[in-house]
């Protein structure tokens, strides 16, 4: 839970604050290539999650897929993409904590995470079922929940990336030629996500409940219910009232986006090595100053 909910976001935040903010010219040069890797990350991670029967591994590979969307938002190199990436880090952190909490509660009572052995848990763990369904809807990007508020700006940012013409620069690839196709193909990840989440819900919580097999199954404790309700309320609140978090994220990513867009203009114009070194040094000074 700590790794998927917190540490993975630290890596993404560091890549934005250190890598992108200090070296925006390198960002403009490499991101058109990196976005292809993020597409593989999103789709391949989803397919691997689809093949899992262990609930813990399913959530783990799902996290890999969703974190690919964060990098994809960075690769969009516009405010929409960075906004979506920032909100996705928060939304996914809470969603993953909710998922792993449910998995832990089921495992603590059933002593197995194998979805092929579980079934009918809604009869004894209805709170866990509702929480897992809400987390699944967030993972799918369902409107009204935080997942939609995070993923929609990312896809819009990548789609709008086609207006970024770097044909006259030194960038490896030109986003204007293929970013719209990246956005379309990445949406397939949502379809695959819906498939493995619905399959997990059906196998674990629905179906026949074997009372003899699960004779020592005990209900959730009060503290368990408080944890689940807290996570669910946060995910719903962000989805219904995105202004709760959008202003904070916008103030943090706006300076980074500004420097990336300045780098785009520099790369499309004629510049010398000394210009690039000077701009990089200036960005480093601003970053050390907390800008």
pLDDT by residue for the chain (291 residues), tens only, comes to: 566 667 778 888 888 888 898 888 888 888 889 999 999 999 999 999 999 999 999 999 999 999 999 999 999 999 999 999 999 999 999 999 999 999 999 999 888 899 999 988 999 999 999 999 999 999 999 999 999 999 999 999 999 988 876 665 555 677 778 899 999 999 999 999 999 999 999 999 998 888 888 877 888 999 999 999 999 999 999 999 999 999 999 999 999 999 888 888 876 654 555 555 666 666 666 656 654
**Alpha helical stretches, state H, the chain:** 2, 8-14, 21-22, 24-50, 55-76, 79-110, 126-140, 146-160, 179-186, 188-205, 222-240, 243-268, 273-288
Q: Give dist(CA 81, CA 138) in Å, integer.
A: 19
What the block records as the tokens of 181 is 């196709």
* CB neighbour list of residue 47: distance below 8 Å, 6 or more residues apart: 192
pTM here is 0.86
Our CA angle for 61, 243, 260, nearest 5°, is 65
What the block records as the tokens of 150 is 């995070």
Residues 205-226, buried b or exposed e (16+ Cβ, 10 A)? Answer: beeebeeeebeebeebeeebee
State the DSSP code for 24. H
Residue corresponding to tokens 């959008």: 246
Give the CA radius of gyration of the chain.
21
């Amino acid at each position: 839970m700590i790794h998927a909910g917190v540490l993975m976001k630290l890596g993404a935040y560091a890549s934005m604050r250190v890598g992108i903010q200090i070296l925006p010219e390198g960002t403009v040069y490499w991101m058109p290539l990196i976005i292809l890797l993020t597409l593989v990350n999103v789709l391949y991670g989803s397919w691997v999650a689809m093949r899992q029967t262990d609930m813990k591994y399913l959530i783990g590979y799902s996290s890999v897929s969703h974190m690919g969307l964060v990098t994809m938002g960075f690769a969009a190199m516009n405010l929409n993409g960075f906004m979506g990436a920032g909100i996705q880090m928060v939304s996914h952190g809470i969603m993953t904590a909710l998922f792993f909490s449910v998995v832990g509660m089921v495992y603590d009572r059933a002593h197995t995470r194998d979805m092929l052995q579980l079934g009918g848990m809604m009869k004894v763990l209805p709170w866990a079922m509702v929480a897992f369904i809400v987390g699944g809807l967030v993972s799918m990007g369902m409107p009204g929940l935080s997942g939609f508020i995070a993923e929609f700006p990312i896809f819009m940012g990548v789609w709008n990336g086609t207006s970024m013409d770097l044909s006259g620069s030194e960038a490896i690839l030109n986003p204007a030629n293929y970013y719209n196709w990246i956005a379309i193909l990445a949406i397939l990840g949502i379809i695959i996500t819906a498939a493995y989440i619905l399959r997990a819900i059906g196998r674990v919580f629905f179906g026949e409940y074997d009372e003899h097999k699960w004779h020592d199954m005990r209900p959730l404790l009060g503290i368990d219910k408080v944890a689940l309700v807290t996570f669910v309320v946060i995910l719903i609140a962000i989805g219904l009232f995105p202004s709760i978090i959008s202003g904070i994220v916008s103030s943090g990513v706006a300076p980074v986006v500004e420097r990336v867009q300045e780098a785009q203009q520099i790369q499309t114009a004629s510049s010398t090595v000394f210009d690039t070194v000077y701009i990089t040094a200036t960005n480093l000074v601003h970053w050390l100053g907390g800008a």
